[in-house]
Amino acid sequence: MNDAGSVMGSPPAPKKERWLLRSTTLAGLTLAVPSLTYFGLNEILSEGYPSLPAHMAEFLAASAALFLTILTFKVYNEKENIGLDIRSVFSLKPFGRTAAVLALFLLADLVLTWTGLKLIYLYYPDTEAPAAIEKLWTSGGNLFFIAVSTMFIAACEEIMLRGLALNYIMKRAGFLKALLWTSFLFMIFHGSRNWISLLLIFSNGALYALAYRRTGSLAVPCLLHGLHNLILRAVVIMDLDPWLS
């Protein structure tokens, strides 16, 4: 009787957190916040203000996307009890060790990307970038603003995936599951027409997660991802495709 009463009077066992669903929702903000802001505002500025240079429209759109991403990061960091210190999460100190890790992972990213692109051009020679990406990446203008815009958008994705989603899963299921699932989401969100591109995107995501884990700074995957995108952009803008074929 007493046993039954003690069981009935005890608080209910906490439900197991559905980290898979929650982390996917958080990662989905990678599309909802920066991507829609970036493409939408860029289109509005381009169509509504034809006298505005293309690179300035893109820069303004990327800046707005980054601002909203950081705001979303702050809100969900507190709401989901992720526990990240926003003041130090982007730190590059001590820069000496961090710089070495950055250089090492950048080299790995370049080798991986070059190999992947060679295979894509070999097996899928007719592969083309989506029209919206092609339009943005081939628009002329000030190279400084183009580079900054590219870095900003890469930072948006890293803040959401390697900032919010990865840390959310790590607290609940460990780093390995966090790495695999966020890399999978990174691959799915980008999409592709062939398996080589999908594998390349997944591997890039895993590299960024490992770089963040090694340094504890989100600035590192943001820089890696941004430099990666700049290189791809250079291939398109500077017509370096024959070099890869």
Q: What is the mean pLDDT of each run of 10 residues along the chain (245 residues)?
A: 45 58 85 89 92 93 95 91 86 77 94 90 81 76 91 95 94 94 93 87 96 93 95 77 55
Q: What does the alpha-carbon distance between residue 94 and residue 85 come to, in Å, rounded to a whole number?
A: 17
Q: Spell out the domain ranges in the chain.
A: 17-244
DSSP for 180-200, please give it. Answer: HHHHHHHHHHH--SSHHHHHH
| Cβ pair 33, 69 in contact under 8 A | yes
C-beta of residue 161 within 8 angstroms of C-beta of residue 205: yes
Give the separation between CA 79 and CA 224, rounded to whole angstroms. 28
Q: Alpha-carbon dihedral of residues 83, 85, 86, 87, nearest 10 degrees?
A: 170
pTM for this model (two decimals): 0.87
CB 164 within 8 A of CB 86: no
